[in-house]
Each structure stands twice: as structure tokens, then as C-alpha cells.
Structure 1
Amino acid sequence: MNTQIILDTYIENIIQIMTPYGTGTGFIIDNLIITNSHVVGGLKEVVVSAKKVKRTIAKVVYDDPYYDLAFIKLESLVKPKTPINLSINPVKDGDTTIAIGHPYGLNYTATEGIVSRASRLQDDLEYIQIDAAINPGNSGGPLLNIDGDVIGVNTFIIQNANNLGFSLPYFYVKEAIDGYLACGNKNIIKCTSCKNLVEEEKIINDYCLECGVKIEVAKLRRKGYKPKGVTKLMEDILSSLDIDVTLARRSQSSWRIDHGTARIDINYYENGIIIGDTKLCAIPSENIEKVYDYLLEENSKLSYLQFSINENSIYLSYLIVDASLTFDEGKIAIQRLLEYSHKYDDILIDEYNAIKQKRDEED
């Protein structure tokens, strides 16, 4: 099969994973979402989405920092029409490979390459060295052969090198899945020292029950992610508006909310500026003056918010310096941004023939 056929055939198996620390990729095997341990970031819950899975919260049930593997469970997971399978055949130098993932948020990107070295030893583990382009966001995604079988999990790259990627081979993945399933329906952590699988609920003070070594990932899972400062204030504001901040969160300082026909992005920048804005419709090719007049007239009526035009897109925005943000004022502003974005998008499209924006799909 060629790359496009493989992507079209197995795309329902590919999962996007989002945490406060970044994004990554996963794929479905035996009702488990397989990904890298570093993608889930030591969290008990992550946000996932896919072609048949709307953005939702899922549980991390297995974390193995040694193999850099993690398994995620989603009770509402829809079985793909064409399931993907682990390979049962040895990988050979020169084999054609296809890496699928979400690099830099570019969803469902497939890149083709070859196996540069079928077995490359790194820190006592074998990896498949490939020249297919993989980037941040690809981590945890499947490496497929030309039959569409998973031969590895794309795990890391060598920085500042041309297409030097490494995938954890399928046989490590099978070993991990078999070990997890043998433990029953429990949350499992693999000790990086003695390599035993430990039930999370039995761990005391983050120490391995078998060898006594402190398990760092157990500590991370116990503490969880807790926003601080202005980030916490912003999430408190969003929560007060009945917004699920876990689902809205795109990073530790970025949130996205879909409301009606509008999409609101809120970003907190390093310079202390907080900008919440909605990219509304695009200006029409005719009667542009009427659109401008309407926007200027509405700008004179608005408080907290303002219209602007960037290239041919109309934006409705809220801007504030972090030192000036208060809960009450922020709540009013964000609430208006949510309500007015949907309202103005409809008015501009229906009454002024503005052009509805196209969005890159998120799932």
C-alpha cells in the first residue's frame, strides 16, 4: 500500500493527545491508546481527540518511563472500522516506513522513509533508526510498514540532525501490553530500577514495593498539574463560566473554547499580555465599506472588547496586562467575548455576506 492509502485506511486509529505540557500522538491497539510516557507527562488524565472521538478526558492507566511507554483508556472509545495491528515480522534495514502523527499541531501528517538501521542500541534498549521526518508532536505515534502494521512507536529524534528519528520496536510494545493485561484492570507503574510492574494504589510514599527505589512518575501522578498565579486566576475565571478548563487547556498558558460558530483563543504571553480573541468571518469582496462602517459603529459601543481586521479576517479581542487582571473584570470580559463572538459572527455572515472561516480539523 502507498502512504496515502495507509493513512486513509488507518486514520481512525490515530489519536491526538494534549496535556498542559504539550501535545503528542497515540494509536489504538486492543482498546488501549498507546503512546510515550513523556507525552503524558506523569499525569493521571490527559485530553484526547480523534476522527471519531471528540475532545475528551481519558485516563492514563499504565506508565513505563523505562520503555517510554504509556497506555490510556477511554471508556467511550469507538472501535476503528479497520483496526491497526502490531507487526509479527522482523524489521530489516532498508524497509519502507510511514510515520503518522500530529507534528506541531498539523493533524494527521504522514511522512515516508526507510529503516536506516533496524537495531540501534541506546541506553540498553534497541531502537529502529529511521529517516522519515518526525518532529515535536509525533512522539507516541505509530511507525508502520508497507502492510500497515505497527513496527514501532516514534519516540525521539536527535536535535539539529537531518531526519535522525528513533522508534521503540513493536516487540517491546507487545511485552508491555501483555504485562499490563496480566495485571487486570488496575493502574500500573513500571519501576525504572527493578523493572517490576507495581499497582499504583499500593505504592507508599512513592517508593517501589519491590526494590525500595523512589518512583518519580508516582510522585508526579500523585501531585498532578496545579496552575499558579495568573494562570490559576484565568482558569478560575473560565471555570466560573462553566467551561471545563481541562478540555479548554492547550498548554499552561493557552486555552481554546468553541462557542456556537465562533472559536475563542486565549493566550498568556511571557511579556505579561493576555489576549483573548476570536477569528470571526472574512470580509466580503463586495460592500466592504458597509462592513467597515458597522464595525466602527459597534466598536464605539463596546467595552472590554474591540474589533480589528488582520489581512481580510475580522477579529473580536480582549487585551489586558496580567497585573491588571481581576476575577470580576476578567469574568465580565471573557463572558462577553463568548457571547458576542457567536452573535457578531452570525450578524456579519447573515446581514453583510461576510465569508465563514474554514478551520483546520482538530479531530
Structure 2
Amino acid sequence: MLRKNPSMNAILDQIREVVIQIATPYSTGTGFYLKEAGVVVTNNHIVHDNREAVVQGEKLPRQLSRVVYADPKFDLAFLEVSGTEGLPALDIFGAGALHEGETVVSIGHPFGLQFSVTQGVISSTNREVEGVRYIQHDAALNPGNSGGPLINTKGQVIGVNTLSMEQSDNIGFSLPAVYLQQALSEFQAAAPGVKVRCESCSNVVAEQQVPDGKYCPHCGARVYLPSHAEMYEPVGIAERIEELLRAIGQEVPLSRRGPNNWEIQEGSARIAITYHEDTGLIMGDAYLCTLPTEQIKPIYEFLLRQNFEIEGLSFSIKDQDIVLSLLIFDRYLNLDTGMKLFRHLFERADYYDNILVEQYGALWRAEDIA
């Protein structure tokens, strides 16, 4: 648990503005905006095989962001973004040495979850994995936190959260900031355009130096430029779900949240759509608002009455969130019925959240009012 003090609270309030949510059709993760470089930093494994990713921050509008640098050696990637006016600058740790026992804070902001902060201490400043030195610490790295910053008590970025050890108790690894500074310097010095670090010779090369799109001009090894990644094309039920979302006016590329997951914002309601291939079940969960601490009984009575009256939808409570859900089996999904069902869910979600808050005292979800 993070033990906060007034100065750390101020640091975290500022940093949360530049911690960025990242999603592709294959994965989700975290990144952070560096004002001086004008890019969002994240892990390469989060955006690998993608030309672009969906990004969103507390003060950064949701957008498709182009991947402009891929670094498989250091597991780094840079994304270009717009609408960054007013975002604060992050200080990258430079001079001096890190020490075992030093307090560190890991920060993440995966899609669907609130700003996540965990505290720990450095257990090793020089843990080598496949020729790369990492900071080992016990600040928990949860799923979706990869790519977020590791900071010290001064609010300086000392590393990029990269690895967590399976079947271990809070053992995490972060790439030291010195590697990030090296990558930024080489990225900025290289020729214009999308760039990649060659895993074989470690040179940073731009797409204009790789006319065939395949081989490093320095050593001839295979390189994988983000700009040459294949465009994502859904298949099967995922294709059908995206077809119906598009038909009802949703921006499908902005809604993708990893394999068989989509997220739609309808009014003040957040709607998560998930397809479970093993069971054939398609779930649409609209997160409306949260339960208050008092006078809960009238809300439960209202939800029970609505579950009896409303057709095709049902209310439930998940971790204090009031959720309106739609369930469909894939064999019954076609464009006509799917459009009607999802339109019904979207309309009812935007209708019920106002009733629950204004008439029954429910609370707006924290991320909806951030």
C-alpha cells in the first residue's frame, strides 16, 4: 500500500496527467508523455505488429496514435500524439546513482481501471536479463501496467516498467532511464520518419533507409518497421461485432481494447463488449455509476423491479459499480438483431445512469468525472 505524504501527493497529481492508457487489437498497457521529446513512451511488446494504437489520458483526448519508433532490444516504443498543450513535463533521472533499499513508485493506468499506484523498494540496481540491465524492485506490476513510469520520491522517472516475474510475490523489473535517454537521443538523431532499432547491430534506422522494408542497411539483418505492419483485420464473430458497431455509428478503431474486447463511451456510461470464444457468449456491460454508502435499499429495490420489467437486459452490482448487461450467444448474432440489441443497451445505459444518480442518490464513477 502506498504511504503518501503531502509532497508525494503533489507529485502524483502532476504525473497522473501524463500517464497514458494504450490499447491495440492485441493488448493493452500504459505509457507516459515526455514533453521535451513530444512522444508517448511505452513498451514495444504492447504495440508490436501495429502501425498505430489507441491512446487516452486524463487530459489527453482519445485518439489513434502512430507508432514512430520500435526498439525490440530495450522493449521501448514511441508514439506521436496531438492535443498535448498544457500537459506538464516529466523529469528523467540523470546524474547520480540508484541504491538498493531506495523507495520507488510504480504507476499505471490500464483501460477500464483507475490510476494505479504501488510503492516498493529497489532490491537490485543491476539485474541483467539477456544482456540488458534492469532495476529489480517489489513495487507490484499488475497486468496492464507495462510501459508506465517507475519514479523516485522526487518524482523523477528512473525507469520504464517492463517485466514482472511469474509465480513470484511482487518482483518487478524496470528498464533504467539511461537506456530511455539513449534511445531518445538516437531516435532524434536518426533520419526522419518511422524508425526501428536493429536487434543485430543495435543501429537505429529510418524507413527511408530500408527501401525494401525488410533488411538493416548496416548489417543486413531482418528489421520490422512499425509502418510496415499488416493492418488489423478482424475475422469471424469479431468481424461481425465490429460490423454492427460501425453500423450504429461507432468509431471501431478507437473502441478496440485487446483481443475480442471493445469499449464504447455512450453519454456518461462506459460500455465494455467482450466475446468469449470458449463459450460463444457475447457480453455487453454498461458501467453506469456506483453505490452510495448510505440509503442503498431503494436502489436495490429499483434495480430488482427493473430486472423484472426490462426486456433483454439485466442489472447487477460489480465491485460497487451498477452495471446494465446484455448477453448474446454468437450463433444468434446477425447484423439486424445485433444492431437492435446494442442500440437498446446504449440507449438504456444513458437513460438509467441519470435516474440512478438524480433520483436514487447513486454516485458518478470516479473515472467519469476525472
Quick check: TM above 0.5? yes
Structure 2: unaligned runs, 5 residues or longer: none
Change (3 A) 1:255 1:123: same
1:274 corresponds to which residue? Answer: 282
2:21 corresponds to which residue? Answer: 16
Matches within 5 A, 1:172-321: 172-201=179-208, 202-215=210-223, 217-218=224-225, 221-269=228-276, 270-280=278-288, 285-286=297-298, 296-297=308-309, 299=310, 302=311, 305-310=312-317, 316-321=324-329
Counterpart Cα distance in 2 of 1:294 and 1:162: 44
Letter in 2 for 1:110: V
1:324 corresponds to which residue? Answer: 332
The structure 1 residue matched to 2:33, chosen from 28, 37, 53, is 28
- Give TM-score, length-normalised by structure 2: 0.85
Letter in 2 for 1:11: R
Q: Contact 1:19–1:41 at 8 Å: present in 2 too?
A: no
User: How far did residue 104 of structure 1 move?
Assistant: 8.5
1:180-229: CA deviations, max 9, x gaps? Answer: 111254110111112122222534152223322222x3389521322111
Letter in 2 for 1:361: E
1:106-125: CA deviations, max 9, x gaps? Answer: 43222222221111222111
Change (3 A) 1:145 1:288: closer
Counterpart Cα distance in 1 of 2:247 and 2:255: 13
Q: Secondary structure at the match of 1:117?
A: strand
Counterpart Cα distance in 2 of 1:135 and 1:104: 13
Letter in 1 for 2:360: A
Q: Secondary structure at the match of 2:212?
A: coil
Counterpart Cα distance in 2 of 1:12 and 1:219: 27
Q: Secondary structure at the match of 1:236?
A: helix
Q: CA RMSD in A?
A: 2.8
Q: Secondary structure at the match of 1:173?
A: helix
Q: Secondary structure at the match of 2:167?
A: coil
User: How far did residue 306 of structure 1 move?
Assistant: 2.9
Aligned residues: 355
Structure 1: unaligned runs, 5 residues or longer: none
Change (3 A) 1:317 1:200: same
Change (3 A) 1:81 1:333: same
User: How far did residue 272 of structure 1 move?
Assistant: 0.3
1:306-342: CA deviations, max 9, x gaps? Answer: 3445589765443221122112221222122222332
Counterpart Cα distance in 1 of 2:324 and 2:263: 14
Q: Contact 2:197–2:204 at 8 Å: present in 1 too?
A: yes
User: How far did residue 344 of structure 1 move?
Assistant: 4.1
1:153 corresponds to which residue? Answer: 160
Q: Secondary structure at the match of 1:189?
A: strand
2:66 corresponds to which residue? Answer: 59
Identity over the aligned pairs, expressed in percent? 36
Letter in 1 for 2:348: Y
Counterpart Cα distance in 2 of 1:331 and 1:67: 44
Q: Contact 2:23–2:29 at 8 Å: present in 1 too?
A: yes
1:86-143: CA deviations, max 9, x gaps? Answer: 4332223332222211368543222222221111222111111222222222211111
